[in-house]
Amino acid sequence: MSSNHDSFIPAMSEIAREAGALLMDYFHQQLKIEYKGDADLVTAADRAAEALIRDRIRQKWPTHDVLGEEQGLSDQGSDYRWYVDPLDGTTNFAHGYPVFCVSMGLEYQAPEHRSSGQRTSRIAAVIYDPTRNELFTAERGRGALLNGETIHVSKTATLKESLLATGFPSHKRHKNPNIYFYHQITLHTHGVRRAGSAALDLCNVASGRFDGFWEFNLNPWDTAAGVLIVEEAGGKVTRFDGSPFELNSRETVASNGLLHQELLAEFREIFAGRGVEPLPDPREYKR
């Protein structure tokens, strides 16, 4: 992060904690009736958390732009843009499975770079898991922290020793090829977890719990904060072909850096259909 910026982290942390507390209120109160036909309750938690976050951003930084999952983009032509996922892990939340978080990322584009279209810079990130009271933070150039302690990606050097994570989108799942990638990569690693919160998956790469993560079709609010946290923890994030990650690229491959090339090579082979183990025939289990 450039020294021209004051740290946003203390204020962002306060907002994320406040939104996390609000989510926990909904989580506890409505757990029994959740998802038995009334999906509105989930929507109410999503919406209430985003409204709170937007309100706090507006109070502190009234000129900043905000892109939030629930309310879309409010664009005032600011040099700063917030990416807000007020509840990442909605399906978990709705079923009472305590894996979800609040995600807030901040991007900056210096005015002199606007006309050249030069890439913007992700400058600050906060992801708060209210179920474990874990606050992940990062500022560009200043490292990544978990509850104030520096975190690093893992040192696992090979895929065969790795634990990875992935996710499947909730929309258009029938068009998502990820089950093939899930299957192949499961065969070549210690396993692939699918916990249901992309932002937390990225934090778990940053803190060395996972060695890597990939997902197709994530949105900018899912990744803006987590990608900076991974990078500041010493990890690497790219597209599937190894080119630089972009918020709108809808391709996310994150790792500790050490096994990144091996992971990308795995994707290359699967995309090309080379050496792909067929999915087992379920009828085999009867024998």
Instruction: Tell how far CA 208 is from the center of its chain.
Output: 15
Closer of 1 and 48 to ligand IPD (Cβ): 48
15 scored as a contact of ligand IPD (CB under 6 A): no
Q: Applying CB under 6 A, which part among 121-129, 136-144, 194-202, 234-242 lies near ligand IPD?
A: 194-202
Looking at the chain, which runs of residues are DSSP E strands? 65-68, 72-74, 80-88, 101-108, 121-129, 134-139, 144-146, 149-150, 163-166, 191-193, 212-216, 236-238, 251-255
Closer of 183 and 250 to Ca ion (Cβ): 250
Closer of 85 and 139 to ligand IPD (Cβ): 85
| Number of chain positions touching ligand IPD (CB under 6 A) | 14
The tokens describing 80, both together, are 């700063």
222 scored as a contact of ligand IPD (CB under 6 A): yes
Closer of 140 and 223 to ligand IPD (Cβ): 223
- Among 120, 106, 75, 98, residue whose Cα is nearest residue 221: 106
Q: Is 223 helix (H, G, I), strand (E, B) or coil?
A: helix
The tokens describing 77, both together, are 């032509």
Q: Report which secondary-structure segment, H or E, holds 178.
A: helix 178-187
The tokens describing 45, both together, are 């938690």
Question: Residue 104's binding partner, choosing from Ca ion, ligand IPD, none, with beta-carbon cut-off 5 to 8 A by kind?
Answer: none
- Among 204, 252, 196, 255, residue whose Cα is nearest residue 224: 252
Longest dimension (CA), the chain: 68
User: Cα-atom radius of gyration of the chain, to the nearest Å?
Assistant: 19
Answer for which of 20, 68, 105, 167 binds ligand IPD (CB under 6 A) is 167
Answer for which of 154, 156, 197, 223 binds ligand IPD (CB under 6 A) is 197
Residues forming contacts to Ca ion in the complex (CB under 5 A) are 69, 85, 87-88, 222
Closest CB to Ca ion belongs to which residue?
A: 88
CA dist 85 and 102 (Å) reads: 6
Closer of 192 and 218 to ligand IPD (Cβ): 218
218 scored as a contact of ligand IPD (CB under 6 A): yes
Answer for which of 52, 164, 198, 228 binds ligand IPD (CB under 6 A) is 198
Closer of 223 and 238 to ligand IPD (Cβ): 223
90 scored as a contact of ligand IPD (CB under 6 A): yes
CA dist 167 and 199 (Å) reads: 11
Q: Applying CB under 6 A, which part among 138-146, 178-186, 193-201, 246-254 lies near ligand IPD?
A: 193-201
CB of 74: closest distance to ligand IPD in angstroms? 19
Residues of this chain that bind ligand IPD (CB under 6 A)? 85, 88-90, 167-170, 196-198, 215, 218, 222
